[in-house]
Every structure is written in structure tokens, then in C-alpha cells.
Amino acid sequence: MHRRLATALTASTLTLGTVLGAASAAEAAPADKPQVLASWTQTSASSYNSWVAARNNQSAWSAYSFDWSTDYCSSSPDNPFGFPFSTSCARHDFGYRNYKALGAFSANKSRVDSAFYEDLKRVCARYSGASKSACNSTAWTYYQAVKAFG
């Protein structure tokens, strides 16, 4: 009796282990997650545009388990003086949160901060004259803040 019970428990444990092991493997992010993350955190406009497209279709990227959460520009205004910086701040948060989750933050922080600054400058490029100067000055201030305190 004890032998049959022990055999049944062992078989059940092995079956459960196989099912749980398969579930863990299915939930694992694809091997190219670091490359995808890197492609979305470059300084170029094409990197920014690719990230925005992915953000707008997050369900297509669900296998990667990216952290899309954001507090936008944290304790700074998201749209200082009317300049729309919130999407740039969201991409910056995306880079920080996902590189931290991969344990690769320190190796990528400088580039993510630089991408943030380039994003902000692209926002400012839509303006002219005094507005453009004010936007660029604000962008520089935001960049210096994340570079020093981010």
C-alpha cells in the first residue's frame, strides 16, 4: 500500500513538474529581447518611431514581457511651457525600467539618456524663434537632470 502510494505521488510530482516546467519555458521572453530593447532605445528618429509603433501595439510584444509603465516626466512637468515632452519621458522610462529588469542598466544608462535628449530636441525642432530657444533650453535642463539624478 505504501509502495503504491509512493509510486503514485512520484508520478504525480513528475507530471506536475513537467507541466510547470513547460509553462515556465512558454512564459520566458524570447532570446532576442536585449536586441529588441536596444533597437528601441537608440538616439535616432527611426528608433523612436519604432518604439512608438510598438507602444501603440503592446499586445504584439507581450511575449517579451516588457515593462511599459511610466510616470512620464516624474516630478517634472510632462509638458513644460506647453512643450509636449510626455512621450519622450515615457520612452526614457521604458529604457530605464527594462534595462534595470535585465540587469544591464549601468551599461546602457548613458545611451538611454542621450536618446531622451535627442527625442526632446526633435520636439523642439517643431518650433521657431524664441519658442524654439525656450524649448531647447528646457530640453537641456531635463537632460541634465536625468543625466545627474536618473
Alpha-carbon gap, residue 104 to 117, rounded angstroms: 20
**Rounded to whole angstroms, what are the CA distances from 47 to 5, 37, 116?**
59, 10, 11
* 12 vs 112: which has the higher pLDDT: 112
Collapsing DSSP states into helix, strand and coil, what is residue 4? helix
Say yes or no to pLDDT of 135 above 50.
yes
Average pLDDT over residues 60-74: 97
Average pLDDT over residues 51-74: 98
**Rounded to whole angstroms, what are the CA distances from 137 to 16, 86, 112, 148?**
59, 17, 19, 17
Say yes or no to pLDDT of 115 above 50.
yes
Entry pTM: 0.82
Say yes or no to pLDDT of 27 above 80.
no
Average pLDDT over residues 29-41: 96
Which residue in the list 48, 92, 95, 143 is annotated as catalytic? 92
In the prediction, which pLDDT does 1 show?
A: 47
Active site residue 92: yes
Q: Whose CA is closest to 50, among 61, 39, 60, 58?
A: 39
**pLDDT category of residue 19 using cuts at 50, 70 and 90:** very low
Alpha-carbon gap, residue 36 to 11, rounded angstroms: 41
